[in-house]
Chains A and B, each alone.
Chain A
């Protein structure tokens, strides 16, 4: 199972918005409403930010939102803050009891 495709890096200034894409296929991202997104700061465990494509866990800021179109899922962060600087990973069910992560995107807040 191939990893989902994410841009290696994105950057923006505080207060701006960014969108990170996660491209899969009709066998994974496009076939199930099971994309989740994780934030990971250096040296820390990942944290769940979005699940089931667009749902936000309790306690996660509403500046984070998820969406999906065909085989591409997206994570949007609005009103960027310095503490949003981290690595972000998407994750999806890929059928046949297998799951796959994206390669990760490094977000830099300028």
Chain B
């Protein structure tokens, strides 16, 4: 059974940093493209970014609102995905979901972790 478990969310001040983790199990993590999607409570979904498998180059792409501030990385030895968030803004407040990305779609989702950026 595929499981994605996010952690690391919490309250942070504007301008601060936070690192989210996503522990993956039930599939061959090193072969998987992975993504982060966020959702402001009560609002719609927003793609944050994606990281390819190392065999496909291991590069990451980002949505314009987070480019230059957020970094997606992966530790294939630990089956873990990360999202390093720097220079956080109030508009980054959202539930952050970790997902698998396959054939242009998000097949599996974690339960999400809430990030609140507030002074």
Q: Interface residues, chain A, CB within 8 Å of chain B?
A: 1, 3, 32, 34, 36, 38, 40, 45-48, 51-52, 57, 89, 91, 93, 97-104
Contact = CB atoms under 8 A, between A and B. Distances in A.
B44 to A, nearest CB: 4
A44 to B, nearest CB: 9
Contact of A101 (B47, B97, B107, B111): B47
Contact of A89 (B44, B50, B61): B44
Nearest to A46: B109
Of A1, A32, A36, A99, which is in contact with the most chain B CB atoms at under 10 Å from its CB? A99
Contacts, number: 59
What interface size band does chain B fall in?
Answer: 10 to 19
Nearest to A52: B103
A110 B91 CA distance: 35
Contacts of A99: 47, 50, 63
B110 A93 contact: no
A48 B45 contact: no
A89 B45 contact: yes
Contacts of B61: 97-98
A98 B103 CA distance: 14
Of B50, B109, B111, which is in contact with the most chain A CB atoms at under 10 Å from its CB? B109
A46 B103 contact: no
Contact of B109 (A47, A57, A91): A47
Contacts of A97: 50, 61
Given A45-B112, A48-B107, 8 more contacts: A34-B104, A36-B104, A46-B106, A46-B109, A52-B105, A91-B45, A100-B47, A101-B45
